[in-house]
Amino acid sequence: QAKQSCPPLAVATVAEGVAWALRAGCRAMKVCHGSSRRQLRTLCHFVKGRFGISSAPSSSGGGGAALLLLLLLPLLLCTFPRLPGDLAFAGALQPRAKQLLTTQAAIGAVDTATTVLAEVELPAALAEIEEAAARSAALRYRSVKLELPAEFATGPVSAAFIGPSEELGRRAEVAGQSPLVLLHGFDSSSLEFRRLLPELESAGVAVHLLDILGWGFGETSAVRDFSPAAKRAHLHAFWKQHLGGRPMVLGGASLGGGIAIDFAAAYPEAVERLVLIDAQAFIDGAPQLGPLGGLGIKVLSSWPLRWMANQMAYFDKERFATDDAVRIGKLHLEAKGWEEASLNYLNSGGYTLSPLVSRISAPTLLLWGEQDGILDGNEQVPRFQSELRGLVDLHWIPECGHCPHLEQPARAAELIAAFLVQDSASR
């Protein structure tokens, strides 16, 4: 039976949409409902315009869009032998040795007496990234060893994260600020918050940007499972073993927001408040690739797919949807074990979040880009407002697409900082 909803189309979601298309092409006339169908149709129109295709996709729904994507896939994968506007990076789509650049991250605030921080290995492709904020954030990465239940790992697991400076961490602790942890979106890394980080720190906010298990730059050789349950256990271990089990403010963008909801539902005692940034919570499941897994992962990592996702993510495409942004979004794909971790997660079936939203009683800051073309705020926001049991502090971000933390970081940081002040004043 065809699922009633397609996977979402973001940096997270376009990737899942095409992977889903690989399996759904043979069921092209099955009907897909709601905003997902419109998102697939939008992507098809974009692809048609890009390649001068005159025929329209099937009006019967998402299946026709999936079939069009499937038919165009070989063309997409061979259309960019050289990346637009960047001759120096033209060989990036060719097989390359996964050279690793070891960076000694600056040691910041240590949250527990037993925490031991270590260096993080970052791909050599970091040298090709132009954005100063991305390079600066990358050099602040560090890692900590966590103990996970035996069902998820055979030994200690490295959690990669970007933490506060020693001074800022100390000031936050003296001021009684609860730890703030932010989670990136699907198949991304904490570099997603590269522009938000300095804005938050300028406002005096100490933040931990955690790479979700299986994505980002954590070392995962001991991990045997990357399912939602394993990702939840990884976050719980970080909270308990590194943050000392202090109640925290937990937030995330896109699927990262959904993962925050999943964690808050499982461990309400751990989460004082939530920060949701264009969060995915009402589209359940992930495409189980089965025998097409190898091909699906290659598609997921391809430059054309990531480039299209970039185009859909922003309101101001000319300024933000750049080749450099694609390179930043692809950097973690060179980390050892990425393919296996991604395939394991997709074949686990992904997250089922929609039943969990009504279980959340923590006060929630809800930020939404007014021009989000991936998750339509006019559909998503009212559901959050009606189903979340705690107070919802909603703010629409003008001139902004799916990523307020990247497109309007100053405004996003201002609202987060104000939310944390409200938290302190209420206690």
Which pLDDT score, from 0 to 100, does residue 176 have?
Answer: 84
Percentage of residues in the chain with pLDDT exceeding 90?
64
Q: pLDDT tens digits for 12-41?
A: 444 444 444 444 333 332 333 344 444 444
Compute the average pLDDT of residues 203-230: 97
The 3 state secondary structure assigned to the chain is CCCCCCCCCCCCHHHHHHHHHHHHHHHCCCCCCHHHHHHHHHHHHHHHHHHCCCCCCCCCCHHHHHHHHHHHHHHHHHCCCCCCCCHHHHHHHCCCCCCEEEECCCCCCCCCCCCCEECEEEEHHHHHCCCHHHHHHHCCEEEEEECCCCCCECCCEEEEEECCCHHHHHHHHHCCCCCEEEECCCCCCHHHHCCHHHHHHHCCCCEEEECCCCCCCCCCCCECCCCHHHHHHHHHHHHHHHCCCCCEEEEEECHHHHHHHHHHHHCHHHEEEEEEECCCCCCCCCCCCHHHHHHHHHHHHCHHHHHHHHHHHCCCHHHHCCHHHHHHHHHHHHCCCHHHHHHHHHHCCCCCCCCCHHHCCCCEEEEEECCCCCCCHHHHHHHHHHHCCCCEEEEEECCCCCCHHHHCHHHHHHHHHHHHHHHHHHC
Is 254 one of the catalytic residues? yes
Q: pLDDT tens digits for 138-183?
A: 999 999 999 999 999 999 999 999 999 888 988 888 888 899 999 9
Is 302 one of the catalytic residues? no
Whether 332 shows a pLDDT value over 50: the answer reads yes
Of residues 5, 188, 254, 301, which has the active-site annotation? 254
Q: Which residues pair with 256 in a beta bridge?
A: none
Q: pLDDT tens digits for 96-132?
A: 333 344 443 333 333 443 467 888 989 999 999 999 9
Which pLDDT score, from 0 to 100, does residue 185 have?
Answer: 97
Contact 419, 275 (CB under 8 A): yes
Query: Which residue is it, tokens 């009606």?
Result: 386
Of residues 184, 242, 402, 405, which has the active-site annotation? 402
pTM of the full predicted structure?
A: 0.78
Of residues 111, 227, 372, 405, which has the active-site annotation? 372
Q: pLDDT tens digits for 265-316?
A: 999 999 999 999 999 999 999 877 777 788 888 888 999 999 999 999 999 9
Contact 106, 85 (CB under 8 A): no
Q: What is the average pLDDT value for the chain, to the nearest integer?
A: 80
